[in-house]
Amino acid sequence: MTTPQDIANQFVQFYYNTFDTNRAALGSLYRESSSLTWEGRTFSATNNIVEHFTSLPFEKVAHQVTTLDAQAASPASLIVMVTGALAIDGAPPMQYSQCFHLLQDGGSFYVFNDLFRLNLSG
């Protein structure tokens, strides 16, 4: 039996690999009803979310996941909380946290809500 943690592990691995190698391809993980809050700015709908990702002002990014927690939010949805570090264009890594609300769509899941924050001190 597949657990919420199993699904979350697979999703997070795919999400960050795609983010780090081809941000434009993230559109397949969102729907028109999806919302992204990125550092306090909210974007809705697939095209707006992908436009935001592809317009981020860096070339190279690498995510390293530190923690990943998952819970079933309903029979057809999951909440996934991730913390980790990301390195941008060779700069020292920065800590981040990201929370995904995933909804089931047939045999797979898509991102309904996505909240991202850098964890900056001071």
Segment 107-122, tens digit of pLDDT? 899 999 999 999 987 5
**CATH number of the domain encompassing residue 12:** 3.10.450.50
In a domain, 11, yes or no: yes
In a domain, 122, yes or no: no
DSSP-derived pairing of the beta strands 30-38 and 108-118: parallel
* Total number of domains constituting the chain: 1
**pTM (predicted TM-score):** 0.95
Q: In Å, how far are 62, 76, 121 from 101, measured between CA atoms? A: 22, 11, 26
DSSP notation for 49-105? HHHHHHHSS-S-EEEEEEEEEEEEEETTEEEEEEEEEEEETTPPPEEEEEEEEEEEE
Q: Which domain holds residue 17?
A: 4-116
In a domain, 88, yes or no: yes
Q: For residue range 75-98, what is the model confidence (pLDDT) as tens digits?
A: 999 999 999 999 999 899 999 999
